[in-house]
């Protein structure tokens, strides 16, 4: 992609007076009543999903984000321990008839797996690890261990997801899990805990009929500190053997076994989990959540929309094919080394697709003032032809589409 930095000076007016909207593609105009009904259903699902997932997308890890903005880069490895749990009124897929007690048959189904067990979650986490290996340009390796035993917690799902007095009780759920497995897991050997629970995440409860469900979230040190100050914990962490005095577990991701639920119209409820999983790992790494935070609880736009994982991109392809993080989040992570150019100097620069983050010309940084700059990145759908993590064919972070003849 050829770019003339001098032309970038024109972008201020263009971007401040426009909104990024995906262009209609050839052949996508509905031709029949059936096609029109599908388009209308897809739009309805997208709007409902935008509303139901707002609390999850508004989450952030502000302390770590501040450090990233100050220049501290992401680590090159992340070691995670994965735990599994179900509840007094609902079990993981494949556990019905195996756990003593009077449980209802599971509502969740899976065309590919008979059970959501350690094998299933090992496969799911391998996709997360592959995603971050790709988008980081091999600068991040996620190592994970899935503990083989599933814990049946003593309370119902609604106790943790919709407690009548306390609301969401994700932190309490994490504390009970650590207590249950402290004798079996050396938590001090890991950077973070990933807690996989039975059922779907409330972020895909597009019909709003499952208040007992649990929102996916990342519990960071600030959350544990708040719980301590509110007397919910005796210390601002979860104690476990192996930690130095005064320290413990204070980084936990809460994730569902599935996101599939709520069929509506011609849509069968087939949401994928990969986008949500990657989004929460992104928060753990200190990526900025680039959604819209206002009005509180019900934002009225999609932020950067589908152009990045940390906007509304976690639900691209219904959550099965999340796009790459935007160039700015990659820069904060230390995965992108943009070429600095002077906009007052004539000359062309050729950008390689931003999917290849380690390429020296994967992005340009065009200075505006001492504290402001344009970060230009070129995205090419499936640049290496492997049909993985594909995305739109656009120049992003600038508000401009590709210019014919300039590719």
The pLDDT assigned to 33 comes to 55
The per-residue pLDDT for range 172-224, each reduced to its tens digit, is: 999 999 999 999 999 999 999 999 999 999 998 888 888 899 999 999 999 99
Choice between 406 and 75, residue whose per-residue pLDDT is larger: 75
Region class of 121: left (phi > 0), else alpha (psi between -120 and 50), else beta? alpha
The pLDDT assigned to 76 comes to 96
The pLDDT assigned to 179 comes to 96
Lowest mean pLDDT among 51-60, 209-218, 317-326: 51-60
Q: What is the mean pLDDT of residues 134-159?
A: 95
Q: Cα 367 from chain centroid? A: 30
The per-residue pLDDT for range 276-299, each reduced to its tens digit, is: 999 999 999 999 988 876 776 666
As a whole number of angstroms, the distance between CA 214 and CA 257 comes to 11
Question: Quick one: three-class SS letters along 284-313?
Answer: HHCCCCCCCCCCCCCCCCCCCHHHCCCCCH
Q: Give the bridge partners for 194, in sequence order.
A: 82, 253
The pLDDT assigned to 407 comes to 30
Band (pLDDT 50/70/90 cuts) for residue 35 is: low
Q: At residue 29, does pLDDT exceed 60?
A: no
Q: At residue 5, does pLDDT exceed 80?
A: no
Q: At residue 390, does pLDDT exceed 80?
A: no
Q: At residue 4, does pLDDT exceed 90?
A: no
- 3 state SS of 151: strand
CB-side neighbour CA atoms (13 Å) of 273: 27
The pLDDT assigned to 195 comes to 98
Most confidently modeled range among 16-25, 178-187, 296-305 = 178-187
DSSP annotation string for 246-266 = T--B--EEEEEEE-----BTT
Residue 386's Cβ-count burial label (10 Å; 0-12, 13-18, 19+) is exposed
Q: At residue 250, does pLDDT exceed 90?
A: yes
The pLDDT assigned to 82 comes to 98
Nearest to 142 by CA among 157, 126, 119, 120: 126
Q: At residue 90, does pLDDT exceed 50?
A: yes
Q: At residue 37, does pLDDT exceed 80?
A: no
The pLDDT assigned to 84 comes to 98
As a whole number of angstroms, the distance between CA 289 and CA 53 comes to 13
Every domain of the chain and the residues it spans: 2-25+336-396, 45-319
Taking all residues of the chain, what is their mean pLDDT, rounded to a whole number? 81
Most confidently modeled range among 55-69, 242-256, 344-358 = 242-256
Q: What is the mean pLDDT of residues 267-276?
A: 88
Choice between 52 and 189, residue whose per-residue pLDDT is larger: 189
Q: Where are the alpha helices (DSSP H) in 136-219?
A: 157-161, 170-181
The pLDDT assigned to 15 comes to 37
Q: In what order do the strands lie in the sheet with 339-341?
A: 339-341, 363-367, 373-379, 394-396
Choice between 380 and 220, residue whose per-residue pLDDT is larger: 220
pTM of the model: 0.84
The pLDDT assigned to 404 comes to 33
Strand stretches in 60-112, DSSP E: 77-86
């Amino acid at each position: 992609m050829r770019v003339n930095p001098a032309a970038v000076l024109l972008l201020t007016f263009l971007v401040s007076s426009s909104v990024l909207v995906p262009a209609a593609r050839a052949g996508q105009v509905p031709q029949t009543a059936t096609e029109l009904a599908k388009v209308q259903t897809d739009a309805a699902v997208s709007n409902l999903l935008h509303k139901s997932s707002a609390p999850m997308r508004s989450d952030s890890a502000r302390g770590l984000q501040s450090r990233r903005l100050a220049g501290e880069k992401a680590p090159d490895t992340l070691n995670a321990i994965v735990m599994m749990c179900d509840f007094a009124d609902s079990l993981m897929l494949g556990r019905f008839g195996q756990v003593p007690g009077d449980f209802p048959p599971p509502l969740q189904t899976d065309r590919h797996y008979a059970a959501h067990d350690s094998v299933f979650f090992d496969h799911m986490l391998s996709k997360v690890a592959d995603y971050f290996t790709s988008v980081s340009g091999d600068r991040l390796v996620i190592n994970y261990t899935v503990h083989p035993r599933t814990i049946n917690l003593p309370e119902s799902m609604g106790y943790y997801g919709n407690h009548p007095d306390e609301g969401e009780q994700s932190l309490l759920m994490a504390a009970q899990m650590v207590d249950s497995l402290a004798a079996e897991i050396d938590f001090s050997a890991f950077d973070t805990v990933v807690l996989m629970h039975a059922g779907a995440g409330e972020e895909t409860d597009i019909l709003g009929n499952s208040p007992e469900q649990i929102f996916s979230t990342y519990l960071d040190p600030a959350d544990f500190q708040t719980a301590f100050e509110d007397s919910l914990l005796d210390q601002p962490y979860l104690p476990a053997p192996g930690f130095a005095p005064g320290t413990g577990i204070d980084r936990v991701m809460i994730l569902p076994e599935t996101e599939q639920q709520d069929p509506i119209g011609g849509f069968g409820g087939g949401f994928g989990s990969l986008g949500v999983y990657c989004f929460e790992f992104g928060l753990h790494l200190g990526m900025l959540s680039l959604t819209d935070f206002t009005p509180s609880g019900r934002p009225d736009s999609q932020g950067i929309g589908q152009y990045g994982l940390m906007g509304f991109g976690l639900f691209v392809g219904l959550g099965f094919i999340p796009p790459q993080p935007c160039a700015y989040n990659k820069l904060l992570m230390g995965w992108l080394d943009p070429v600095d150019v002077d906009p007052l100097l004539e000359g062309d620069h050729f950008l390689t697709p931003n999917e290849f983050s380690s390429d020296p010309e994967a992005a340009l940084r065009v200075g505006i003032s001492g504290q402001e700059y344009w970060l230009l990145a070129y995205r090419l759908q499936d640049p290496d032809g492997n049909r993985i993590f594909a995305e739109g064919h656009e120049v992003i972070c600038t508000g401009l589409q590709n210019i014919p003849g300039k590719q």
